[in-house]
C-alpha cells in the first residue's frame, strides 16, 4: 500500500507547493496507525511537506494517554481526548471521568474528540443511551475547559444537532467530522456557523463533497482520518497528513481559488478552531 501517489508526487509537494497545511483529524495514537507509520520518520517527512499541525484524535483512554506522550515529543501534534461512540458499551465510570478530566486540564492546547453518536455502524439500540452519556460528559468538559470539539455523527445527525443546543460551545470550537448526512441538517449546521473537516474522499467522487460546495471557505478544515484507506484513481491510499496537499488541490478547484490562498485560509481556520488567535 502506498502512502501517496508516486515518489514524484511527494517531491512535487515539497518543491512546488511550499505551503502550510494541517490535518484536523488523524488517529495517530491508534495501534495500527503506529504500526503503519514510523512516527519519528513520518513527522519529519510531513513537516518537510509543509504540515504545521496534526490533531491526534483518541478513541479510548489508552490512546488519550499515548497522544499526550507523543504531543510532548512533537510540537506539531495537538492532543485530542475522546472515547469513540463505537467503544461506548459500558456505563461511564467515575475513574474514567477523573482520568480524562485530568488530561484535559493538564493540556491547555487540546481538543475533545473523537466523540459523538453513531446510529449507522452501531445497530444495538441498548448502546445508544450509553453513547449519549459519554457524549454529554465530553460536551460538558468542552464547556468547562473551553476546548474545541471534534464530532462523529454517522446516522445520528439529528440527535447530535439537538444535543448540541444544550451546551454553550462557541461555533468556532465545533468541528463536524466527515459529514455525510441529510442536507437539512447540513444547512442547519452551516447556519450555526460550525466548522467542517473535509477529507480525501472528495478526490473520488464521494457525496462528502456537498459539504465543501455548500460551506463557506472560512468554515473548512482538512482531515485525513488516518489510517482510513481511500480508493483514488484505482489506487488504495492510506490516510495520513501526506494526503492533505492533494485534498487542498481539490478544494482549490471546487472553490475556484488558488492553492496558496486556500492554504492560508485553512491555516487561519485551524488557529481559530484551536483558540490560537
Number of residues that bind Zn ion (CB under 5 A): 2
Place of cell 501534534: 77
Please report how close the Cβ of residue 54 comes to Zn ion at its closest, in angstroms.
Answer: 13
Complex with Zn ion: residue 132 or 225, whichever CB lies closer: 225
54 has which bridge partners?
Answer: 23, 77
Place of cell 512516527: 39
Residue nearest to Zn ion (CB): 225
State the burial class of residue 99 (Cβ atoms within 10 Å of its Cβ: 0-12, 13-18, 19+).
Answer: middle
Task: List b or e across 175-209, with b for residues whose CB sees 16 or more CB atoms inside 10 angstroms.
Answer: bbbbbbbeeebbeebbeeebbbbbbbbbbeeeebb
State the burial class of residue 158 (Cβ atoms within 10 Å of its Cβ: 0-12, 13-18, 19+).
Answer: middle
118 binds Zn ion (CB under 5 A): no
Please report how close the Cβ of residue 56 comes to Zn ion at its closest, in angstroms.
Answer: 11
Complex with Zn ion: residue 153 or 266, whichever CB lies closer: 153
Please report how close the Cβ of residue 211 comes to Zn ion at its closest, in angstroms.
Answer: 16
Judge contact between 228 and 239, C-beta under 8 A.
Answer: yes
Q: Which of 3, 52, 223, 225 binds Zn ion (CB under 5 A)?
A: 225
Complex with Zn ion: residue 34 or 217, whichever CB lies closer: 34
Complex with Zn ion: residue 175 or 263, whichever CB lies closer: 175
- Contact window for Zn ion (CB under 5 A) among 90-98, 114-122, 165-173, 188-196: 114-122
Please report how close the Cβ of residue 25 comes to Zn ion at its closest, in angstroms.
Answer: 6
Please report how close the Cβ of residue 213 comes to Zn ion at its closest, in angstroms.
Answer: 22
Please report how close the Cβ of residue 259 comes to Zn ion at its closest, in angstroms.
Answer: 25
Complex with Zn ion: residue 76 or 114, whichever CB lies closer: 114
| Euclidean distance between CA atoms 275 and 265, whole angstroms | 15
257: cell is 481559488
- Contact window for Zn ion (CB under 5 A) among 14-22, 183-191, 194-202, 218-226: 218-226
Longest dimension (CA), the chain: 53
Q: Are strands 220-222 and 51-57 parallel, antiparallel or unpaired?
A: unpaired
| Euclidean distance between CA atoms 164 and 1, whole angstroms | 39
- Contact window for Zn ion (CB under 5 A) among 8-16, 109-117, 159-167, 250-258: 109-117
Question: Quick one: DSSP state of residue 106?
Answer: H
Tell me the angle at which helices 157-164 and 128-145 cross, rounded to the nearest 10 degrees: 40
- Contact window for Zn ion (CB under 5 A) among 112-120, 167-175, 194-202, 236-244: 112-120
Complex with Zn ion: residue 19 or 194, whichever CB lies closer: 194
- Contact window for Zn ion (CB under 5 A) among 2-10, 107-115, 130-138, 269-277: 107-115
Binding site for Zn ion (CB under 5 A): 114, 225
Amino acid at each position: 500500500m502506498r502512502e501517496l501517489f508516486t515518489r514524484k508526487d511527494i517531491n512535487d509537494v515539497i518543491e512546488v507547493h511550499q505551503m502550510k497545511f494541517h490535518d484536523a483529524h488523524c488517529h495517530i495514537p491508534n495501534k495500527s496507525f503506529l504500526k503503519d507509520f514510523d512516527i519519528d520518520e513520518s513527522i519529519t517527512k510531513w513537516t518537510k511537506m509543509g504540515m504545521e499541525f496534526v490533531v491526534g484524535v483518541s478513541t479510548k483512554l489508552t490512546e488519550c494517554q499515548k497522544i499526550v506522550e507523543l504531543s510532548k515529543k512533537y510540537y506539531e501534534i495537538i492532543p485530542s481526548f475522546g472515547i469513540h461512540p463505537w467503544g461506548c458499551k459500558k456505563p461511564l465510570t467515575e475513574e474514567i471521568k477523573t482520568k480524562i478530566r485530568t488530561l484535559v486540564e493538564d493540556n491547555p492546547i487540546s481538543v475533545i474528540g473523537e466523540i459523538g453518536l453513531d446510529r449507522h455502524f452501531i445497530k444495538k439500540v441498548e448502546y445508544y443511551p450509553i453513547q449519549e452519556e459519554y457524549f454529554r460528559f465530553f460536551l460538558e468538559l468542552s464547556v468547562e475547559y473551553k476546548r474545541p470539539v471534534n464530532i462523529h455523527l454517522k446516522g445520528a445527525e439529528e440527535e447530535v444537532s439537538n444535543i448540541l443546543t444544550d451546551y454553550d460551545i462557541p461555533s468556532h470550537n465545533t468541528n463536524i467530522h466527515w459529514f455525510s448526512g441529510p442536507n437539512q441538517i447540513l444547512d442547519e449546521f452551516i447556519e450555526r456557523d460550525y466548522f467542517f473537516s473535509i477529507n480525501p474522499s472528495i478526490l473520488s467522487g464521494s457525496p462528502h463533497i456537498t459539504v465543501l460546495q455548500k460551506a463557506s471557505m472560512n468554515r473548512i478544515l482538512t482531515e485525513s482520518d488516518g489510517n482510513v484507506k481511500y480508493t483514488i484513481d484505482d489506487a488504495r491510499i492510506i490516510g495520513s497528513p501526506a494526503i492533505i496537499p492533494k485534498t487542498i488541490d481539490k478544494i482549490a478547484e471546487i472553490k475556484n481559488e488558488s492553492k496558496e490562498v486556500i492554504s492560508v485560509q485553512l491555516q487561519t481556520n485551524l488557529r481559530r478552531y484551536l483558540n490560537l488567535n
